[in-house]
Structure 1
Amino acid sequence: MPTVLLAIDDDESHVERQIETIAGLPFSGEALTVTILHVFSENPSGASVNQLKTARLARDRLEEAGLETTFAERSGDPAAEVLEHAKDEAVELICVAGRKRSPTGKALFGSVTQDVILNAECPVLVAGDLETEFET
């Protein structure tokens, strides 16, 4: 069964775009499982992925679209953990959210999405707001 890794953060608008993108993928009759992954960079209270509003939103909406979902969580550097999870679980596709950032912002602070795109061993789908992402 093919697996898509949906790497989410706490931003509802990002997750909404990712849900729409995954739900709109053309499937060739094969069942698809979506693993909803959240990487905790800091988690002193011991929160779990299923406590996150964005994770529950993704699960509910994807299941309404007829897709099977599972939760996963990791701790550490988000890009490294997304890549490690994808490798460990042999996922076929990683879906991340794009966000508009200046070239200076990307150079100074890096980008989880950029790191995942450049280092993934499988295809990466970036769900972004086309009206925002390509403004000139």
Structure 2
Amino acid sequence: MAMDTVLLALGHEDEERLESITDTVVDLAAPGESTVVLGHVFTWEEYDDVKEKLDISKDAEVTPDDVAAKYNTVRTVAGLLAEAGVDYEIRGAVGEYGHEIVDLAEEETADLVVVGGRKRSPTGKAVFGSTAQEVMLNAPCPVTFVRSD
């Protein structure tokens, strides 16, 4: 079943699973039919740090979308999607991860949200990470969880 809009929620811990998470999205998105929204949520502290690392002045008129588009993880995934012929847009947000991902899913009228997560310890397997769990419980659409190995 092709999706019109797939929100791929990328976080600061997704570097080691970029290929697996992108492969999952490419399998779910139909080239030429679907749009993947690359969403990256920053905490306020991360946002300020990233702007500083990217040499963006504190007074510069930039949006979270602009900062996300310059972020290495987002650029890497954008390149992989482009190679696969999948249309994409980049959206950035600043705030609490789970809440902002759910907001992006609502704003973009996503048909599916894809989030990544860590392999959990035996006792932690009953519970997903707090961000993934919040998204799964509150997203306005189905959520696919891609676990790193």
Normalised to the residue count of structure 1, the TM-score between the two structures is: 0.82
For 2:124 and 2:144, locate their aligned partners in 1 and report how far apart those are by CA, in whole Å.
24
1:34 aligns with 2:31: no
Gaps of 5+ in 1: none
Moved over 2 A (4+): 101-107
User: Residues 93 and 26 from structure 1, CA distance in 2 versus in 1: closer, same or farther, beyond 3 angstroms?
Assistant: closer
How far residue 78 of structure 1 moved from its aligned partner, in angstroms, is 0.4
Deviation at 1:25, TM superposition (A): 2.4
- Deviations 1:66-96 (Å, cap 9, x if unpaired)? 1001110000000000001111221111000
**Aligned match for 1:17, one of 16, 20, 23:** 20
1:115 paired residue among 117, 134, 145: 134
3-state SS, counterpart of residue 24 of structure 1 = helix
> Is the Cα–Cα contact under 8 Å of residues 81 and 88 in structure 2 kept in the other structure?
yes
Pairing of 1:44-55 with structure 2 (within 5 A): 44-45=48-49, 47=51, 48-55=67-74
Superposed CA RMSD: 2.5
- Letter of the 1:113 counterpart: A
Counterpart code for 1:36: L
| CA displacement, residues 69-127 of structure 1 (integer Å, 9 cap, x when unaligned) | 111000000000000111122111100002123446987xx511111111111010111
Partner SS state of residue 141, structure 2: coil
Aligned mates of 1:97, 1:82 — CA distance in 2: 12
Note the C-alpha offset of 1:13.
Answer: 1.7
TM-score (norm 2): 0.75
CA–CA separation in structure 1 for the residues paired with 2:117 and 2:50: 27
